[in-house]
Structure 1
Amino acid sequence: MAEVAVRTAVEQDAAEIARIQLETWRIAYAEQLPDGALDGVEAEAATARWSEAVGQPPTAAHRVLVAYERVGDGDPTTVGFAAAAPADPADVEVPHGSALHDPATTVAIPALVVEPRWGRRGHGSRLLAAVVDLARADGAEHAVTWVLSGDTASQSFYASAGWQPDGTVRELSANGDLIREVRLHADLG
């Protein structure tokens, strides 16, 4: 029988978080990202960024969590991760200068990644539930995330947890090409 759980990341998790992120992006987003968009991303640099995010977060509300699975008496295997932070005003903007939610009471989830070979075992749901529980404890009333517009798997995952698109789209530059992301949000009440 397998043991599955979510815990707060520690600095020793940084290399595995970076590996999961880069490998998953290369597999899951190969057709959605422009050619070469990930070519310049080095594992060492990604590991350093995750080490800093875990070991020296800007605030107590900046969190990184990891999901793991242990089979039998073996060592636990890190299978996914999530990051959460207080929402930036840009995360909640809507056209014409108003806001979807108050950034002071909104958590942003910039990353929630489960390595594809560990998918469909509930790890993503456990990560999302843990992030939401911590955000509620911090006083958050709303949550937002951005998902690639062509990432129907992630959009379906969030929709199954009650998240909704609000019609806001942003474009980001990747190697000179534009990629589109849609914003999803949820009330945490």
Structure 2
Amino acid sequence: MADVGVRPARRADAAAVADIQVRTWRQGYRDLLPVAALAELTGAEAQETWRDRWADAVSSPPSPRHRLLVAVASDLVVGFASHGPADDDPDHDPAHSAELLTMLVDPLHQRAGHGSRLLAATVDTLREDGFDTLITWAFEEDNVMRGFLGSAGWAPDGLARTLDMGEPVRQIRLHTDIRPAETGTET
């Protein structure tokens, strides 16, 4: 088995992260997003913008509690996850609620446990930072992501939003409690 794991991203990982984002969106979102919007988000100019943004996310995150993690296999970046306080959701206290901003695994490396490792490392990091709830927004029709998160204990919380991407695209919010499970009681 290849040497696999998750680590904090480095500035040098920005190009690989942007490449994974574009490849994954092109494949995974082709039936979820309008063609023009997807082309704009994954074109050459956008890819360069994503590289710069991911490099900034590593070197100048908005806060110390914003993180970018990468999944690696034999020193090759094969996926990533970013998270931070749930600042944009007024019904959540950003001191205790975090948001999984994105989590993607390269299509060539999916179904090898990288997503599970990324999610576990994200939860571990957030627990260390004192968070107890984790939320994320997923495309309503993204059955792959919703199924993956559902198998890890996530559930819709009843909120939805519609993005204007040339056509309306609906997202739903999912949440999970990340507090450590009680280990039992002493007698």
Question: Do both proteins adopt the same fold according to a TM-score greater than 0.5, normalized to the shorter chain?
Answer: yes
Q: Where does residue 146 of structure 1 map in the other structure?
A: 137
Q: CA deviation at 1:119?
A: 0.9
- Is 1:43 aligned to residue 47 of structure 2? yes
Give the one of 49, 52, 56 matched to 1:52.
Answer: 56
Q: Where does residue 159 of structure 1 map in the other structure?
A: 150
- Partner of 1:16, secondary structure, is helix
- Partner of 2:119, secondary structure, is helix
Give the one of 161, 167, 171 matched to 1:181.
Answer: 171
C-alpha RMSD of matched pairs (Å):
1.1
Q: Where does residue 73 of structure 1 map in the other structure?
A: none
Q: TM-score, normalised by structure 2?
A: 0.90
Q: Distance in 2 between matches of 1:79 and 1:65?
A: 11
Q: Distance in 2 between matches of 1:51 and 1:173?
A: 27
How many residues align? The count is: 175
Q: Percent identity?
A: 45
Structure 1: 5+ residue stretches without partners: 71-75, 94-98
Give the partner amino acid of 2:175.
H
Q: Where does residue 13 of structure 1 map in the other structure?
A: 13
Q: CA deviation at 1:166?
A: 1.1
- Partner of 1:33, secondary structure, is coil
Q: Deviations over 1:77-116 (max 9, x none)?
A: 11100000110242xx5xxxxx2x4332001011000012
- Is 1:80 aligned to residue 83 of structure 2? no
Q: CA deviation at 1:33?
A: 0.2
Q: Where does residue 96 of structure 1 map in the other structure?
A: none
Give the one of 103, 107, 118 matched to 1:127.
Answer: 118
Q: CA deviation at 1:117?
A: 1.7
Q: Distance in 1 between matches of 2:96 and 2:56?
A: 25
Structure 1 stretches of 4+ with a deviation exceeding 4 A read: none
Structure 2: 5+ residue stretches without partners: 180-187
Q: TM-score, normalised by structure 1?
A: 0.89
Superposition map of 1:68-107 within 5 A: 68-70=72-74, 76-90=75-89, 93=90, 99=91, 101-107=92-98
